[in-house]
A and B are shown apart, each in its own frame.
Chain A
Amino acid sequence: MEFLRPATWQEALAAKAEHPTAVPIAGGTDVMVEINFDHRRPDHLLDLNRIAELEEWETGEDTVRLGASVPYSRIMAGLRTELPGLALASHTVASPQIRNRGGVGGNLGTASPAGDAHPALLAGGGAVEAESVRGSRLIPIDDFYTGVKRNALAPDELIRAVHLKKATGPQQFSKVGTRNAMVIAVCAFGIALHPDTRTVRTGIGSAAPTPIRAKAAEEFLAAAMDEAGLWDSGKPVPPAVAKQFADLVSGAANPIDDVRGTATYRRHALGVMARRTLGWTWQQYRDHQGSKSCA
């Protein structure tokens, strides 16, 4: 196994072009486990740790350009306002040591359905900035996950950053594991209210071959809230609407039975998380509306 250590982003892109099967490694929290468990032995490892710009983020007018290697601990500490869903998801990633090393680029590169960042990315909305010696492109997050541990990257492409929409409303993230910390998801759910567009977006983790959105649930909820004028009135979401939303989220999942849980439980738990997180975000939205009207 050869260990490539490019000093610059351009060198990294050149190395990836030369060795398209090279596996990029940053924090190593996923790749090293794969290697230690002998699940894969790549010919080349492409070490991105010398490329400082991958560990930076820029906050623009509407978006955050989050470097692929920004560790979860810094997302938790520094982007709680702009990316609340991702900050909550980051908090559930493994242990403090892993959160100090791992970043969103790794989750996207591995594209495991169990990656903690995915539901928050899907719910918040955004795009993956992929780059190669051929040039740079933005892959919408909705199009990024293409199969079990597969993504839309070309063999010569590296993830430079993710462009994430700054939150315009409350976001929540919730994950079921059989331990109260440091646990891989049995299933996970992300939700983001987008009052600017009067839409709701969702993300489901560990309950389908890829991370997915519950689109039917989103559309149902947006329509129901519009119809009832809830965005303006700030009235509570009727329980029947919340239940229908939860059922649609459950229905969107396509889970399996495995050693971590049953398919039936995953569907059930997703429904519970969908109902609860909708309740929390809507309460946050109402509190915010209330404080605005008081001001």
Chain B
Amino acid sequence: MGITRTPTSLTQSSATRGGIGESTLRPDGTLKVTGEFAYSSDLWHEDMLWGYTLRSTVAHAAIVSIDTSEALATSGVYAVLTYDDLPTEVKHYGLEIRDTPVLAHGKVRHHGEPVALVAADHPETARRAAAKIRVEYDALPVITDEASATAPDAVLVHEGRDDHHIGHVPHPNIVHRQPIVRGDADRAAERADVVVSGEYVFGMQDQAFLGPESGLAVPAEDGGVDLYVATQWLHSDLRQIAPVLGLPERKVRMTLSGVGGAFGGREDLSMQIHGCLLALRTGKPVKIVYNRFESFFGHVHRHPARLWYEHGATRNGKLTHVRCRIVLDGGAYASASPAVVGNAASLSIGPYVVEDVDIEALALYTNNPPCGAMRGFGAVQACFAYEAQMDKVAAELGMDPVEFRQVNAMEQGTVMPTGQTVDSPAPVAELLRRVKSRPLPPERQWETTEGADVRALPGGLSNTTHGEGVVRGVGYAVGIKNVGFSEGFDDYSTARVRMQVINGEPVATVHTAMAEVGQGGVTVHAQIARSELGVTQVTIQPADTQVGSAGSTSASRQTYMTGGAVKNTCEAVREKVLDLGRRRFGSYHPAWATAELLLEGGKVVTDGGEALADIADVLEDDVVDLELEFRHRPTQAFDLRTGQGNGHVQYSFAAHRAVVEVDTELGLVKVVELACAQDVGKALNPLSVVGQIQGGTTQGLGVAVMEEIVVDPKTALVRNPSFTDYLIPTILDTPTIPVDVLELADEHAPYGLRGIGEAPTLSSTPAVLAAIRQATGLELNRTPVRPEHLTGS
């Protein structure tokens, strides 16, 4: 029997065009750029109603009463629902801990918590009716930080916890705590010639995806519901939705609608259950679309954090030990907090070799906005702090900061603080070398023959400087991010692949439940199918729950996991096709029995390049159709006391060099260049790879100099829920981002690829901060940096 092999040789082959390694264009790219693409907010149905969510105006209060009578009496209103209307005993949901009420019960725990729902025949009617719902609140003390959360007499954000973390946390207002102890930090500290410590603060970043939460729930004749929604993981939603509705999962049919960005913010449910409840109650289709203001309350944010670090090093620049404590503010509900804690702890010292560590990470329950998944997931906050520390230690030692990092850089074979050996390439020193060796942008790059180009200066078109007060700074940072779901989670993806002849041509159809949120999975799946099956035409079916789970579009995992699943299923389909070929044509040519066979350019070919048959002739009227699951290597939970365990699947590395111009008098910053070098294992689509790296880099820049949800420390109310005051980078804030892509294969991963989406978000922020520190000489232990931090006013 012929052996099929991983057709890596196909990547350079011209036989099947549009395969892996090529920069094929996104199928949805032109539609999105021209405004033709239908997002979930564009969904429409005959006779549909509009849902509206009444949200709490206070952060922490007992609900004394809710009076919906006036709202119900409003003409055009079809339903008003509160907690009391929930149809089953399951009234909570949550990614890991089901602690989030579908509608507030007894009390509200954060600003903007859903309290009641209205369905009406017009969105304005629904909004006005909701305004007539009278909710009487009785204020409770507000828990806003570690001190107020863990005070002896602290009010419990959640009473009667029975989740699996309550047994090991020191206080019920702590969601989860993960220590990691390895070696002996106390003894190692004795060897240190320098010891540097610092306290760092990371502000609350928002995913700021442009397509607000939206979806359409359509009641079905079988008593079930069809839900069209923008999300990150259909099957995770399904698992949380169905029990609340009292429906078996097969009666909740979900289809992915156009997703306008996600970045982690769509891992938790938003309008899903609400829309279905209203649809089932009214018997009519119900659409819910949040506006921008509501969107800021409709999804979780990145955990703000306080981090304490102590680093020791010998005079020759070797790190002796690291001690750290990371306190993440999880807000009112758990969301992804436990996993974020695991990441923050296990990646807390960065991509460095340190044998003696004492690490603690925890997430609080507070009355601040709930925080959960966002690109970088716990590793971002840690990277901001440990990279600041690395610069401080280097300065203390009088060493070049890049050289100091290189001296301590991990490599393949390094043992992590968790005891896990890094068993694939970890080119940390090389990534740093690459960004450092780039020529710097010219000094005073704003000068032109016609005077200063303000667009190239801090303040930009606001015309605040023509060069006065402007000082350049250069900073470096490198980070480490895990890829895929960790800590023993059974992480898998499913792909269904069908191959048949249509109009005389072999066509592959790929069906997965993968949420395309902009990452380019739909592009890559087609490339994989072309490479594996030798076809030109690939149809990507809409993602829905009629096929098995694809897991989440997060943790940089989709190309690895659902891409891996597509590859895996394609290989099985190919075997079936070759079996058909052997049955039909085996007697005509000995190579059918003896050679390695591939599918290339519409033909069955030998590895020597000899064509044996057209795929179309092999298939005839047969249809090969398989659905298979794909798993990455199993991982282990971290020991709750020591943090030991092979917790992660794969690691991903990126390094940045930031060049900034700072107006030191006004405290304004222009990032001139953010060079990145990243190892991607294998670039399945080089254009998409560069796009991901540039996007992640920009998101990291955002939280360095502008992006922050401001929460009032006294009231826990959000002060800037709009794009007027929550600023994200414009193109004038976005620097040139030269990208250097390494492809060092990870032998454990499909095609040797490495998940890429998150790593560039890590090191971008500390690199910018380091550059601003160099320009200003200020310590800057907080991000984002605001003008008043730079001017001392």
Contact = CB atoms under 8 A, between A and B. Distances in A.
B461 A261 contact: no
Contact of A186 (B127, B293, B787): B787
A176 B669 CA distance: 11
Contact of A179 (B291, B667, B706): B706
A262 B791 CA distance: 12
Interface string B712-724: 0000000110101
B793 A264 contact: yes
B720 A181 contact: no
Contact of A180 (B670, B719, B725, B787): B670
Contacts of B786: 178, 261
A91 B464 CA distance: 13
A276 B787 contact: no
Nearest to B468: A276
Contacts of B293: 37
Contacts of A249: none
A180 B788 contact: no
B462 A175 contact: yes
Contacts of A176: 459, 462, 464, 666, 668, 787
Given A259-B719, A272-B666, A180 B459 contact: yes
A181 B730 contact: yes
Nearest to A114: B724
Contacts of A182: 730, 732
Contacts of B43: none
A174 interface: yes
Interface SS of B by simple majority: loop
B727 interface: yes
A273 B727 contact: no
A43 to B, nearest CB: 14
A269 B787 CA distance: 9
Q: Which of A36, A91, A260, A265 has the most CB of B within 10 A?
A: A265
B462 A276 contact: no
Contact of A265 (B291, B720, B732, B788): B788
Contact of B460 (A37, A173, A181): A181
Given A265-B787, A276-B465, A184 B724 contact: yes
Contacts of B666: 176, 269, 272-273
Contacts of A251: none
A262 B729 contact: no
A177 B460 CA distance: 10
Place the interface of chain B in its size category. 35 or more
Interface string A15-46: 00000000000000000010011100000000
A174 B462 contact: yes
Nearest to B726: A259
Contacts of B458: 180
A33 B455 CA distance: 27
Contacts of B541: none
A3 interface: no
Interface string B762-793: 00000000000000000000000011100101
A173 B727 CA distance: 22
Interface string A168-192: 0000111111111111101000000
B463 A268 contact: no
B464 A88 contact: no
Interface in B655-694: 665-668, 670
A36 B291 contact: yes
Interface in A239-295: 259-262, 264-265, 267-269, 272-273, 276, 279-280
Contacts of A175: 459, 462-464
A36 B212 CA distance: 14
Contacts of A36: 291
Contacts, number: 102
A172 B787 contact: no
A265 B667 CA distance: 10
A182 to B, nearest CB: 5
B730 A180 contact: yes
B466 A261 contact: no
A183 B733 CA distance: 11
A92 interface: yes
Contacts of A268: 791, 793
B730 A174 contact: no
Contacts of A33: 724
Given A37-B722, A265-B793, A268-B791, A180 B461 contact: yes
Contacts of B725: 184, 259-260
Nearest to A175: B462
Interface in B414-437: none
A169 B567 CA distance: 70
A174 B464 contact: yes
Most buried by A among B665, B719, B787: B787
A37 B455 CA distance: 31
Q: Which one of B455, B463, B667 has the highest number of Cβ atoms from chain A below 10 Å of its Cβ?
A: B463
A112 B334 CA distance: 41
A172 B464 CA distance: 10
B415 to A, nearest CB: 43
Nearest to B460: A180
Given A92-B461, A174-B462, A183 B665 contact: no
A273 B791 contact: no
Q: Which 7 A-B pairs have the closest CB atoms?
A: A180-B460, A181-B732, A265-B788, A268-B793, A175-B462, A264-B793, A265-B793
30 contacts: A37-B722, A38-B127, A91-B463, A172-B463, A174-B459, A174-B463, A176-B459, A176-B464, A176-B668, A177-B459, A177-B462, A178-B705, A179-B733, A180-B459, A180-B732, A181-B461, A181-B731, A182-B732, A183-B462, A261-B788, A262-B793, A264-B788, A265-B793, A267-B793, A268-B791, A269-B666, A269-B667, A269-B787, A272-B665, A272-B666
Interface of B: 127, 291, 293, 455, 458-466, 468-469, 665-668, 670, 705-706, 710, 719-720, 722, 724-725, 727, 729-733, 786-788, 791, 793
Interface of A: 33, 36-38, 88, 91-92, 172-184, 186, 259-262, 264-265, 267-269, 272-273, 276, 279-280
